Amino acid sequence: MNDFSNNFCCYLSGALDSGYFCCKELVDWADRKILQCEVPKIWLVNLSLVKCTGCFYSLEEEGDSDLRASLNKECLNGCSDEGYEGFLFLKYLEGRVDEAGVLSSYGEKTTFDDVAWSDLLPEMKRQGPLAENFLKFMRRDDLYEVAPEIFNA
């Protein structure tokens, strides 16, 4: 089982790029983690300072923000949007977006403007369980105790 400790910021970036999180939930989560830290990493501070303009938050709203830059810096494997398709798939399964919305989001994020649902679906199905497991890991009550290296500078 992947505990996501080594690539936490990469998966978080993928979730943020997909617009998966409710903005208030995200900021509250970051605030709680900061209170547990001796010296929080800059990405966590940047996440805590996100300005909520709508219900759901996407890194796309920020463009090349400090948050995006600080998350990218933490991605050890160089992949800054790990699980992106999986988070889109979870949004689809939860009824928060339809096929057209998924394809539109994917087209905006990538250079594949004319991707077909049947082409994207296998990758979304492959990444969906990873995204779901990341969310379970992220929402653990004891996450800081289990992996303080994610949050402390």
**Displacement of CA 73 from its chain's centroid (Å):** 15
pLDDT in tens, 69-88: 777 777 765 565 668 888 98
**Residue 72 domain flag:** yes
Q: By three-state DSSP, how is residue 84 classified?
A: helix
Position 50 in a domain = yes
In angstroms, the CA 153 to CA 142 distance is 19
Q: Is 3 domain-assigned? A: no
Whole-number Å distance between alpha carbons of 29 and 31:
5
Token pair 């600080």 in the structure block, residue:
70
Q: Which pLDDT value is given to residue 63? A: 52
Q: Is the pLDDT of residue 52 over 60?
A: yes
What's the pLDDT at 132? 92
Confidence class of residue 147 from pLDDT cuts 50, 70 and 90? Answer: confident
64 pLDDT higher than 60: no
Q: Judge whether 66 lies within some domain.
A: yes
With respect to residue 126, please indicate whether it lies within any of the assigned structural domains: yes
Cα 75 to Cα 3, 4, 41, 80, 122: the distances in Å are 15, 11, 13, 6, 25
| Within a domain: 99 | yes
Q: How far is CA 37 from CA 31, 33, 43, in A?
A: 10, 7, 13
Rounded CA separation 130/149 (Å):
21
Higher pLDDT, 98 or 76: 98
Given a cut of 70, whether residue 136 has pLDDT beyond it is: yes
CA 12 to mean position of chain CA atoms: 3
CA distance 18 to 105: 7
Q: Return the higher-pLDDT residue of 6 and 44.
A: 44
**Mean pLDDT, residues 60-64:** 54
Classify residue 15: in a domain, yes or no. yes
Query: Does residue 2 belong to any structural domain of this protein?
Result: no
The structural domain count of the chain equals 1
3-state secondary structure of 92: helix
Quick check: 3 pLDDT over 80? Answer: no
Q: What is the pLDDT of residues 113-132, one digit of tens each?
A: 677 888 888 888 888 999 99
Instruction: List the domain range (segments joined by +) for residue 110.
Output: 8-150
